[in-house]
Structure 1
């Protein structure tokens, strides 16, 4: 899976830099083209000549050492890379990237690249557990950086614990597995809805709900990373569009219904994660309603049940719904699965700790139409999204046999 890939290996100043030599060799043996960038600290442990011999490419150490006058080296390498690996990665480099600091060749190039970046930390066990390092790693993870967690064992500093650079063979295996995953949904069209809808009362007021869109956006990001052609229909949210996702912004339930039905026939997998309004005001006003004495009654009409309409129109699509409940979630989720002709449903108790709207985490149960269910324990919404798609892919394979 690595054959022909253009990989930039960043080596920072830790004793584990010697392992980066073996990693370079193994990547080259797998058919990858490797270019190495070394920090000043890394050169205290291993010479650039070593990596030049192993990679058969020049080694970059200085931002201002422009080897070709026609190119700006750090921009050229950033654009050249299919993926980046930082191994070993010090706490210092993690902190730099997380705070947008670009003061050497490696940090400058990382900030300039749009390639996937893998970070393999290596440091003292107490450094790895420091709140600042944990915060910086979480920041990078939220931006889409991928981590190859360090192993546990005897460290060069004499401590025993987590902080040892993962073995080169394991790092290569992680890269190969991820590259394989990126093609799992190649050629598949995935349609996802996300976020809330807003139903207008007057120019300053509307009915809505607490949905942030985070779960739907995480699903769209994961599907795109698996190679799918993703269309995301979203209500009003403040989230950035995931890479390689075609985004359609809507406001009302009716608008979301129209776009979902438009794209549904050509879709292979459809996931309705949006929290769509069940009702909209029967009458709306072009001018702001003024306060009056007494109570106010607003008559409401029923919105179109988008998921039910999709279930009726379903031919070969794998249709997944969401059930955000506050009591008896599994019971109501199973009823919804049947009544709306779904292939699977994701059920969660929005009152459970760390779950539900606006949270960065979720705790859900995936239920397939054949009755099997799997609990996906509390994790980040991105991790839950990955697990949901793994279940969908598994079910699609089972249905095809």
Structure 2
């Protein structure tokens, strides 16, 4: 099989490529240049896709004896990921840029080009597994190492994309084993730290970065009962669950800290309240997609049992879900979750299988009626 290995410059992608070579596949390595100004991306252990990562990817490919290329996806990355991030915040939502990058860059733009060039699959270092059901349909499942499982950020993959996705680390029991294998293979990235945070915000100051790109105007901060508490510099800079940076001079009557409960950009208002009001038990999702052939209940609109995960490393919560005639995904949670913001992604599972995903458009709590504020 002729495969294209997406080389991030980290240890996972390097070992994944090495295993593909060892399995006898014809492997070509490619690193994605996501910015024409490398200084605008994070560097060191906190970044990804920087110049130093490109050099690390090249060294890994050289060690493996496979061809190496750098593909410039900076323009598409800016449009599909960075601009989307800005527009989502401007609309009062909290997006997941890594999810968008997987969806629109690594498994759309990259895979499309790979197939056009005659490759059979794209290899990545993600911890997830692709299997087949009795009919030969592809399914996406959690990896063997649940602590490193990355099926959540791959929940956006479609059935057609799963046909060409190759995850050699699927059955690896731990990240420590991957690092040990990289050492044995003589790969220089064996002990390279994992990447974290948003790669296109160099200093980690999301609010300051957004302020340069969104026309923010001062507005009011109110509590969950509608009481005016002061002024904010721009609602777009806040996210649900935020505690720091509220700059409220008057303490709550009970002395407890306040958290952002809602961001309302149309009213330019930020609603705050006690932590217990962050708990939600009903989620409505839009932009729904299914990772593989949808289960029958999706087609019929019947309710089905599942688990719901709303963050990459969060614990899944049992729920019942159904798809409305308008295509909205409704999930009723058996256990309330805190700090869930519109714009986040909910991924649905049955057992280890990823059913699909949706962008959260609304999150509700039985303990608080926001329409009264």
Q: Does TM-score exceed 0.5, indicating one fold?
A: no
Structure number with the higher helix fraction is 1
Q: TM-score, normalised by structure 2?
A: 0.27
Q: TM-score, normalised by structure 1?
A: 0.26
Larger Rg: 1
Higher relative contact order (CA 8 A, sep 6+): 2
